[in-house]
Structure 1
Amino acid sequence: MRILIAGGHGKIALELTKLAAQRGDTVIGLVRNPDHVQDIRDLGGDATVVDLESASAEEVAATLAGADAAVFAAGAGPGSGLARKDSVDRAASTLLADAAVVAGVKRLVQISSTGIDRADDPGVDEVFAAYLRAKGAAEQDLRARDLEWTILRPGRLTDDPPTGKVALTAEALGGDVTRADVAAVVLALLDEPRTAGRTLELVNGDTAVPDAVSALL
């Protein structure tokens, strides 16, 4: 499988690159910083320098040529302000979907966030609320497209070692999940086209990743 990852130097993306390359997939990460290219190559993937906040759909589509699937794993990250929550977490996701349409790449997995409906709750930090709204808007945009999309909403992310055990459902879940386990689930979802059209919540749990994906079908 040839997989393109937007946000290729993010922690989940690097875990996904490692897993996919180990089994023989071709992985291309889109990165903004040229200094990050070698990090991806060291894991067995390759990288293309593209700024998702300024590129056109046609430019991104050129990087998608020949791909079997795309993954949106980009994020503005902690410490970024309100504007970048929109320009990365929403607009860059929309850009990738636009590019997928142009390139004729149908399969797309979007890494979103749990708690989308909490944006207007009392006490939610302004920047975090903007992040949730941006993720929600990106989800809404993707659902309206004629693509084979799957939306994955992980719980609170940790850098703990992978457990290989998760809870993966369409119902809201509360809890943590390791970034490595998120990557494993993304790869399993890419392998199973029958998960297209689903919005899924993910935390660590008691079910092995392959079984958790199979149970959805």
Structure 2
Amino acid sequence: MRIVIAGGHGQIALRLERLLAARGDEVAGVVRRPGQAGDLLAAGAEPVVCDLESASVGDVSQHLEGADAAVFAAGAGAGSGAGRKDTVDRGAAVLFADAAEAAGVRRFVVVSSMGADREPPPGTDPVFAAYLRAKGAADEDVRKRSALDWTVLRPGRLTDEPGTGLVTLSAGSTGRGDVTRDDVAAVLAELLLEPGTAGLTLELIGGGTPVAEAVKAVAGPGGR
């Protein structure tokens, strides 16, 4: 498979690139800065320099030509304000989905966030609330697209501890919990192989089920 990952220098994306390259997939990661290319090459991925905040659909779609799948794993990141949460976590996700459609790429996986399906509770930090609203709006946009075999993955609180390979994955609610970035990447890699997860919005936390089994358990007979 050829897989193009938006936000290719992110912590989850780099882990995913290593996994995909190790199993023999052809991987490209979209990054904003040329200086990030070395880390992608070390992970086994082809670096593609393209700023999703300023690019056009045509700019991005040319990098998706011939791909079998696209993964949106970009984010404005720590230290960014509410404005960039909207331009990256929502705007860039919508642009990447538009580009995937234009390039004829059907399989589309989004890394979202737990809590993006509801209005943030009173007292939530304003920037974090903007992040959740942006993620929710992007998810809503993608889920309306009949031209994409989409899956939305909503992990719980992310940690940098070593992955366990054991998770709880549900098309309903998992409840709140932590999950390692290693395990999120492993779930994404499995989702790309499982067409029966198309059309699903999934919550993910650490748990007791091996990743491959957890993905198979939520999959339908062949996708939507």
Range of TM-score over shorter length: over 0.9
* Aligned equivalents of 2:121, 2:42: Cα separation in 1: 43
2:222 is aligned to: none
1:50 is aligned to: 50
1:68 is aligned to: 68
* Aligned equivalents of 2:193, 2:84: Cα separation in 1: 32
SS at match of 1:215: helix
* Aligned equivalents of 2:84, 2:30: Cα separation in 1: 18
- Letter of the 2:28 partner, please give it: I
1:91 counterpart = 2:91: yes
Structure 1 position 171, deviation (Å): 2.1
Q: What value does the CA root-mean-square deviation take over the aligned residues? A: 0.8
TM superposition score normalised by structure 1: 0.98
Runs of 4+, deviation exceeding 4 Å: none
* Paired residues for 1:171-210 under 5 Å: 171-172=172-173, 173-210=175-212
Is contact 1:155–1:174 with CA below 8 Å preserved after alignment? Answer: yes
Structure 1 position 197, deviation (Å): 0.1
* Paired residues for 1:34-49 under 5 Å: 34-49=34-49
2:156 is aligned to: 155
1:169 is aligned to: 170
SS at match of 1:75: coil
* Aligned equivalents of 2:43, 2:171: Cα separation in 1: 32
- Letter of the 2:64 partner, please give it: L
1:8 is aligned to: 8
Aligned length: 217
- Letter of the 1:77 partner, please give it: G
In structure 1, list runs of 5 or more residues that go unmatched: none
* Aligned equivalents of 1:57, 1:40: Cα separation in 2: 23
Range with greater deviation from structure 2 (77-86 or 114-123): 114-123
Is contact 2:160–2:180 with CA below 8 Å preserved after alignment? Answer: yes
* Aligned equivalents of 1:118, 1:158: Cα separation in 2: 23
- Letter of the 1:7 partner, please give it: G
In structure 2, list runs of 5 or more residues that go unmatched: 220-224
**Structure 1 residues 92, 211: CA separation in 2 closer, same or farther (over 3 Å shift)?**
same
* Aligned equivalents of 2:107, 2:25: Cα separation in 1: 15
Structure 1 position 115, deviation (Å): 1.0
TM superposition score normalised by structure 2: 0.95
Range with greater deviation from structure 2 (120-129 or 189-198): 120-129
* Aligned equivalents of 1:191, 1:52: Cα separation in 2: 26
